[in-house]
Structure 1
Amino acid sequence: MVMTDERDGFPVLRRDVAGIDVGSEEHWVCAPSRTGDGRDVERFPATTPGLERLIAWLQDRRVRAVALERTGVYWIVPHEMLEQAEFEVRLVDTRELRRVPGRPKSDRRDCEWLQRLFSCGLLRGAFRPPETVCLLRTLVRDRATLIAERADWLRRMQKALDQMNVRVHRAVADLDGVTGMAIVRAIVGGERDPHRLAALRDYRCQKTEAAIAEQLTGHWRADHLFSLQQGLKMYDAITDRLADYEREILQQLAAMAQTDDTPPPPTNVNKARMIQKRGEEPLRQALYRISGVDLTTIDALGVETVNVILSEYGPDLSRFPTEKQFIAHLRLAPHQAISGGKPVRTPKKPQRRSARVTMALRMAATSLRRSRSALGAYYRRIAQRLGADVAVFATARKLAQWVYRVLRWGQPYVDEGAAVYEHRYRQARITRLAATAKDLGYALVSVEA
C-alpha cells in the first residue's frame, strides 16, 4: 500500500530507508524515528568507531536500505562496513536531483533530501560489482599503476643512455627486450667495450653484431651512469612487485572460479603464439574459469584487455538488460543533444564511468587497422568515410557489443572475414543506389568490364 507524507506531498514507497551525506570529517544521517511518525537526523565522525555507532543507530531504527552519496573516496569505507552489516546499500550520484531551486544547501538538508527521495523510489543506484570482483579490481588497478611507473623508469634509463650517446634504442627494437636489458645490465656492471656489449645480442636480433656495436660507443659520464644504475634498480624492484601482484591476481581468480574446465586453444594462430610468448596462458585459463567463456576469441581482445573488462564488471552483466544500456554505461553510445529540432552544442562532459574499460576497448580497436577480419574491414570503411577517430570509437562500440553478447548470452564469436564483409557492404550499396535511381525514374544497370 502506498503511504503519503502530508508534509512533502510525495508518495512514500518505503519507510525502512535512510540517507547519508558523506564527508571527510563527519557523516550526516537521516532515518525514520523509532516510533515511525517522523525522521531523525544525527551526525557521526568519519572514524571507524564513529561508523560502528552509525550502524548501531540505523539498526536500532530497523533500517534495511541506505542511500549513500558518492563523494570523492569518502564513501568507500562506509559502503563496505554497511555491506558487512547486511544493509542494502545504494550508491547514488544526486548532483542533478539535489540542485533544486529554492532548496537550502547544507549537509543536514542533503541527508534529509536523500532519505526522502529514496523512500519515494526516486533514486537510481550506480553500478558496483560484487565484493569478490571489487577485490580483483583493486589488484588489477594497482598492477596497472605499477606498469605505468615501470614504463616511466624505462624512459629515464633511455634518457641516461641518450645523454651518453649510447644508442641502445637504435641498436635494438625494445630497450626492455632480451638484448636491450642484457646490454644495460652489462653497462651498469662496468662493461664499456662496444663489441663485448654487442656480443650479448639474442640470436633472434635482425641486426648484426657489428651494426649493434657501432651504436654502443659513448662518453660514459659518471652522473649519467649513476642515473642509469638507479633507474635499473627501480625497474627491477617494480618488476618484482608486479610478479607478486600477478600471483595474487591468479589466487583471487582461482577463488572466484565457477568451473574447472580448460578453455579450448585460441583459433587465431598468431594470437595463440603471442599469448604463449608473453606468458599469459595461465591468466587466460583463469579468466575462462570465472566466466565460462573465452573473450579472447573476439578479434583484437587480448588477455590483458579481457582482464580489465572482467575486473571492472565481473562475468555477470545482468544489471544491464540490453546491450545498448551496457554500451551507454561505457560512454560508447553517440549522443547529440537536440532542442527545438536542432542540434545543441554542449561542452564535453568528463568521463565518469568505466574509463578503464573504454580506454582498453579503444586501444584494442586501434589494433584492427590492418586486420583481415570483418571488424578490421569495418574499421577501415569507417576511417575512409569519417576519419580514424570516429573509426576507433565505432569499432570500440562493436567490440563492446560482442563482449556483452558473449558474456550475457554465451553467443559464440565467429569472424566472417574481411572479404565477406566487403561483399555484403557492396551489395547493400548497390541496393541503395538502385532504390535512389528508381525514385528518380531510372534503372540501374551493371556494366561488364
Structure 2
Amino acid sequence: MRIIRAIVAGERDPDVLASLRDVRCHSSVETIRASLVGYNRDEHIFALTQSLELYDFYQKKMLECYRKLEAAISALTIRAEQQLPPLPKSRIKTKQVNAPSFDVRAALYEVLGVDLTQIHDLGPSLALKLIGECGANLRAWPSAKHFTSWLCLVQGNKISGGKLLSSRTSRSSSRAAALLRLAAVTIERSDTALGAFYRRLAARIGKQKAVTATARKIAVLFYNTLRIGMTYRDPGAVAYDEWHRGRVLANLQRHAKTLGYSLAPMRDAECVS
C-alpha cells in the first residue's frame, strides 16, 4: 500500500519504490524493483488514483460501522449479574486481518460472560458473526443436537422400506454453517485436538466430509459454551491421538470377546519378526 501511495504522489524511481515494500512480502527487493520498471502512462496512474481513493473511502465507512457496532455491543445488558472473573489469556498473538478497530473479544466477554475464542479457530471476528446469526443465548434449541440439525451439519438419513438410501447432509444456505465450515478448513494444520480429529477423518473419508464433521464439532462446543457456560480447554493433538487409539483397542477387545477370543499385546521379538 505504501508503494501505491508513493506512485500516486508522483514517485517513479524503482529503487525508492522497492524500498517501501512490506516486511511481510515474500518477494525480494530486486524482484519488486524489476516489476516497477516500465512506462507510467497517464491513464494507468489515473485508474490507480481512483482505486486508491475508493479504498480509502471504504476504509472510512468500515471504521464508522465498527464504531456503531461497538456502541451497540456496549449497550447490551451483561448476562452475568455477579462480578466476572478476569478475561482469560488470549490464544491469538497477532491481530487478525480486517478485524474491527475495537476489542471485540473483551466486548463479547462483558456481554456473554464466557470467552468463545478459547475454542480453536473461533477468533473474535468469527465469534461476533456467529452471535449475530444465532443470538446470544441459543434458547431456541433445546440441545446441541437440535442446534447442529438446524445448521444442517448432521447426517440426513433417508430410509425407505427399512433400507438406508442416503446419509448425506442436507444443503443449507445458513451463513452460520458457512462460518463454521470456514473455521473447520483453517484448523487442518493446527496442533490441536480438533486438528487431529480433522486429519484423521480427512484421511479416511475425504476432506469435504471431514470439514462438515469438524464444523459440527465446533458448533457443539459453541453451543455448550453459550448454553451451559462450558470452558473449553484443548487437550492437544497428542492427547487426542492417544484417546482415539485407546477407543479403537477397547472396541477390538470387545469384538474379540464376543467371538470367544482375547487380545494380547505383541512382544518385542514378535514385532521384529
What TM-score do the two structures reach when normalised by structure 1? 0.54
d(CA) in 2 for partners of 1:349, 1:423: 33
Maintained 8 Å contact 1:263/1:285: no
Q: Which one of the candidate residues 303, 310, 314 is aligned to 2:135?
A: 314
For residue 93 of structure 2, give the secondary structure of its aligned residue in structure 1. helix
Maintained 8 Å contact 1:275/1:281: no
Tell me the alpha carbon deviations over residues 224-260 of structure 1, each in whole angstroms, 9 at most, x when there is no partner: 3332222222111111110000000000001114168
- How far 1:186 sits from its partner (Å)? 1.5
d(CA) in 2 for partners of 1:361, 1:322: 18
User: 2:62 aligns to what?
Assistant: 242
Q: Which one of the candidate residues 258, 261, 264 is aligned to 2:87?
A: 264
Residue 333 of structure 1 aligns to which amino acid in structure 2?
Answer: V
Residue 298 of structure 1 aligns to which amino acid in structure 2?
Answer: I
Shift in CA distance, 305/346, structure 1 to aligned 2, threshold 3 Å: same
- How far 1:192 sits from its partner (Å)? 2.2
- How far 1:344 sits from its partner (Å)? 3.5
- How far 1:185 sits from its partner (Å)? 1.4
Asked whether 1:414 is paired with 2:233, we answer: yes
Shift in CA distance, 189/448, structure 1 to aligned 2, threshold 3 Å: farther
CA RMSD, aligned part only? 2.6
User: 1:10 aligns to what?
Assistant: none
Tell me the alpha carbon deviations over residues 52-94 of structure 1, each in whole angstroms, 9 at most, x when there is no partner: xxxxxxxxxxxxxxxxxxxxxxxxxxxxxxxxxxxxxxxxxxx
- How far 1:322 sits from its partner (Å)? 0.8
Q: Which one of the candidate residues 147, 155, 160 is aligned to 1:339?
A: 160
Asked whether 1:380 is paired with 2:203, we answer: no
Shift in CA distance, 304/289, structure 1 to aligned 2, threshold 3 Å: same
Asked whether 1:283 is paired with 2:104, we answer: yes
Query: Which structure has the higher relative contact order (CA within 8 Å, separation 6+)?
Result: 2
Residue 423 of structure 1 aligns to which amino acid in structure 2?
Answer: E
Q: Structure 2 matches for 1:176-187, cutoff 5 A?
A: 181-187=1-7
Residue 112 of structure 2 aligns to which amino acid in structure 1?
Answer: S
Maintained 8 Å contact 1:337/1:343: yes
Shift in CA distance, 296/436, structure 1 to aligned 2, threshold 3 Å: same
User: 1:297 aligns to what?
Assistant: 118
- How far 1:262 sits from its partner (Å)? 7.7
Residue 126 of structure 2 aligns to which amino acid in structure 1?
Answer: T
d(CA) in 2 for partners of 1:219, 1:262: 61
d(CA) in 2 for partners of 1:346, 1:399: 21
Tell me the alpha carbon deviations over residues 346-372 of structure 1, each in whole angstroms, 9 at most, x when there is no partner: 9986525xx111111111111111111
Tell me the alpha carbon deviations over residues 142-180 of structure 1, each in whole angstroms, 9 at most, x when there is no partner: xxxxxxxxxxxxxxxxxxxxxxxxxxxxxxxxxxxxxxx
For residue 401 of structure 1, give the secondary structure of its aligned residue in structure 2. helix
User: 1:23 aligns to what?
Assistant: none
User: 2:271 aligns to what?
Assistant: none
d(CA) in 1 for partners of 2:182, 2:238: 24
d(CA) in 2 for partners of 1:227, 1:263: 50
d(CA) in 2 for partners of 1:203, 1:368: 26
Maintained 8 Å contact 1:263/1:294: no
Maintained 8 Å contact 2:187/2:195: yes
Q: How many residues align?
A: 265
Maintained 8 Å contact 1:186/1:197: yes
Q: Which one of the candidate residues 38, 41, 44 is aligned to 1:224?
A: 44
Maintained 8 Å contact 2:181/2:211: yes
Shift in CA distance, 404/349, structure 1 to aligned 2, threshold 3 Å: closer
Give percent identity, aligned residues only.
38
Maintained 8 Å contact 1:437/1:444: yes
Shift in CA distance, 362/276, structure 1 to aligned 2, threshold 3 Å: closer
Residue 13 of structure 2 aligns to which amino acid in structure 1?
Answer: D
Maintained 8 Å contact 1:293/1:406: yes
For residue 95 of structure 2, give the secondary structure of its aligned residue in structure 1. helix
d(CA) in 2 for partners of 1:443, 1:329: 43
Maintained 8 Å contact 1:194/1:213: yes
More strand by share: 1
For residue 272 of structure 1, give the secondary structure of its aligned residue in structure 2. coil
d(CA) in 2 for partners of 1:306, 1:229: 36
Shift in CA distance, 398/347, structure 1 to aligned 2, threshold 3 Å: closer
d(CA) in 1 for partners of 2:89, 2:178: 24
Maintained 8 Å contact 2:66/2:101: no
Residue 57 of structure 2 aligns to which amino acid in structure 1?
Answer: A
Maintained 8 Å contact 1:375/1:418: yes
- How far 1:275 sits from its partner (Å)? 5.4
Residue 266 of structure 1 aligns to which amino acid in structure 2?
Answer: K
Q: Which one of the candidate residues 4, 18, 23 is aligned to 1:198?
A: 18
Maintained 8 Å contact 2:66/2:102: no
Shift in CA distance, 346/446, structure 1 to aligned 2, threshold 3 Å: closer
Shift in CA distance, 317/348, structure 1 to aligned 2, threshold 3 Å: closer
